A and B are shown apart, each in its own frame.
Chain A
């Protein structure tokens, strides 16, 4: 029993990170109507920036603040310089742009940090295991679970309880109407992309001490992020959170009893849900 509980705990920890990734992608996809293929690459930049800044200044906590902000800035620049010019050009061009961008960012990572991966250890205080009674669990993973949970909650709070959050949600529902109400829709798009990039960046930064650094780490995560968005429902933030947790826990439980299927279960869960609810768990379109 304690083994199952431990696996569920582990699933929630991983699921929180998936939710964070899915939340950012859902925001961008929902508001900008663009499948952001560069989301995985932004996640990787977050991880690399964290390790670089942490090593340079010798402080993990400051790096954890700075790295995702750097990714948000990058996201802001991408929207302002690139995507903004393509809103009128149609879907295909936007799709190609983010796809190309993903390749450029991945290759840039190789150029800057090299093709071979590396490890970055958690800060000293979070190394080793904590005895939870039913299992020993890495302290850093507990921290990640807590941090990701807080971030997800903060994002939800921002979107649900603030005026700008309400505008963003309205933007997901009906961009034209928001625009007609005199709201700067261009600014809304830029903020949404930067916020989505920030969430990808902080997910990458948090995961760096767990999974290490590798130029292809973004590709591994991108597929899961898209599954989370599809499963939760396009543009639905609560859905992204639920989907992230469902996938994380499903993966952990399947790995406990049928390890060979631990990757395929991600897609199997999505396929089953989409068969029953094509709009996703919480989606309306």
Chain B
């Protein structure tokens, strides 16, 4: 016969109710601050996710995995470089793990979908990429853009390149056919007009393209003074290699408008890098105290200098933590208010988060690749020849109202 008394049954019932019925109450008592790094481990940016993760971890470890005297729980999820997977895993992390702060992913198109989740779930979202929509037409209170505005990038690249090559007025563009490519292309053409540049061709290619010979042959037929690529990662590497194979570079200069820097340049041999000009959100020889310290620590830990991907993750995480410090709170709305208008001096130099658009106003870098003989060591790829931080002019701004919470 059962020895259970009525009192025992009540006790078990109460215990079960506490555990199953009120999980949110149990969770709320936790002091942990859960931060999600949405980094791709599979799909088109599978090679970038692991190094994004490195950068984010370094920034958290600098603070001893703590903020405001509370432990930070860092969780990562693989977004698979797909909007469906990324949004589902973000929602799971928010609902299941209590994440209220999301950093990533790496693809602009995917990030736009994740930004909608952040808005719906009311969580803070930091992102770095080439789409202007996050701080433009689809801006809202919860998402912040760390990368330079595509306008800032285009202005820095076109102005600096034309200063060094004033006669190169016929340009052929190769553009990745998604959110990031379209945004940067628009402003390269806008800024190009002010220099009298004629765009003799502008071809769009799908993300993940590996057969560039057809595009390059078309570019060669246009006899341009310069070829500018607005693509990223594997696409940029495959494109640059084919442009060299077809004999365009080094005769015709190649501009990699929005490059990851180190991660792309290391995949190209010194012969291919001749006469390549590179725009990037970060280059490891940036002359800032933050960069020097970060590059030293990163190189000591991983054996090579950081490119744009780990640096963006590192700096976004530091920006978020600076937001906590300023807010003296880990509540979502407090942190957002603190991030709006925040000014910090970080690895890229001075940064200010525009409160009206959530666009980071910051320098963009422009480099020229070195010849093989001029390289002092294996990763001495390029010299920074210019930086620029011209913000997007108001008339181009598409974020008319950032909205409420």
User: A211 at interface (Cβ–Cβ under 8 A)?
Assistant: yes
User: B119 at interface (Cβ–Cβ under 8 A)?
Assistant: no
Which residues of B in the span 211-262 have a Cβ within 8 Å of any Cβ on A? Answer: 211, 213-215, 217-218, 220-221, 234, 237-238, 241-242, 245-247
Q: Smallest CB–CB gap between A269 and chain B, Å?
A: 15
Which residues from chain A contact B170 at a C-beta distance below 8 Å?
none
Complex: how many Å from CA A3 to CA B218?
8
Which residues from chain B contact A252 at a C-beta distance below 8 Å?
213-214
Given the known inter-chain contacts A118-B267, A119-B269, please indicate yes or no for A259 contacting B234, CB distance below 8 A: no
User: A100 at interface (Cβ–Cβ under 8 A)?
Assistant: no
User: B322 at interface (Cβ–Cβ under 8 A)?
Assistant: no
A117/B267 in contact, CB under 8 A? yes
1/0 per residue, CB under 8 A from B, across A116-143: the answer is: 1111111000001100000111101100
Q: Smallest CB–CB gap between A59 and chain B, Å?
A: 18
User: A162 at interface (Cβ–Cβ under 8 A)?
Assistant: no
User: B268 at interface (Cβ–Cβ under 8 A)?
Assistant: yes
Which residues from chain B contact A14 at a C-beta distance below 8 Å?
211, 213
A135/B217 in contact, CB under 8 A? yes
A6/B205 in contact, CB under 8 A? no
Question: Can you list the 5 inter-chain pairs with the closest CB atoms, starting with the nearest?
Answer: A255-B214, A129-B247, A259-B203, A119-B269, A117-B267
Which residues from chain A contact B269 at a C-beta distance below 8 Å?
118-121
1/0 per residue, CB under 8 A from B, across A247-285: the answer is: 000011001100110111000000000000000000000
User: A10 at interface (Cβ–Cβ under 8 A)?
Assistant: yes
Complex: how many Å from CA A222 to CA B76?
30
Which residues of B in the span 155-178 have a Cβ within 8 Å of any Cβ on A? Answer: 177
- Tally A residues with Cβ within 8 Å of B: 41
11 interchain pairs (CB within 8 A)? A117-B267, A118-B269, A119-B241, A210-B245, A214-B267, A216-B47, A255-B203, A259-B205, A260-B177, A260-B206, A263-B206
Which residues of A in the span 210-226 have a Cβ within 8 Å of any Cβ on B? Answer: 210-212, 214-217, 220
1/0 per residue, CB under 8 A from B, across A185-224: the answer is: 0000000000000000000000001111011110010000
A136/B272 in contact, CB under 8 A? no
Q: Smallest CB–CB gap between B332 and chain A, Å?
A: 35
Which residues from chain B contact A13 at a C-beta distance below 8 Å?
213
Q: Smallest CB–CB gap between A156 and chain B, Å?
A: 25
Which residues of B in the span 168-218 have a Cβ within 8 Å of any Cβ on A? Answer: 177, 203-206, 208-211, 213-215, 217-218
Q: A210-B213, A252-B214, A259-B177 are in contact. List 5 more A-B contacts (CB 8 A).
A: A3-B221, A128-B247, A140-B245, A259-B203, A263-B208
Q: Smallest CB–CB gap between A248 and chain B, Å?
A: 9
Q: Smallest CB–CB gap between B320 and chain A, Å?
A: 27
Which residues from chain A contact B16 at a C-beta distance below 8 Å?
none
Which residues from chain A contact B268 at a C-beta distance below 8 Å?
119
User: B53 at interface (Cβ–Cβ under 8 A)?
Assistant: no
User: A82 at interface (Cβ–Cβ under 8 A)?
Assistant: no
Which residues from chain B contact A135 at a C-beta distance below 8 Å?
217, 221
Interface centre among B46, B47, B214 (most CB of A within 10 A): B214
Complex: how many Å from CA A167 to CA B8?
79
User: B263 at interface (Cβ–Cβ under 8 A)?
Assistant: yes
Nearest residue in B to A253 (C-beta to C-beta)?
B214
Which residues from chain A contact B221 at a C-beta distance below 8 Å?
3, 6, 135
Which residues from chain A contact B208 at a C-beta distance below 8 Å?
220, 263
User: B113 at interface (Cβ–Cβ under 8 A)?
Assistant: no
User: A115 at interface (Cβ–Cβ under 8 A)?
Assistant: yes
Given the known inter-chain contacts A116-B267, A138-B246, please indicate yes or no for A259 contacting B204, CB distance below 8 A: yes
Q: Smallest CB–CB gap between B375 and chain A, Å?
A: 15
User: B266 at interface (Cβ–Cβ under 8 A)?
Assistant: yes
User: B271 at interface (Cβ–Cβ under 8 A)?
Assistant: yes
Complex: how many Å from CA A135 to CA B218?
11
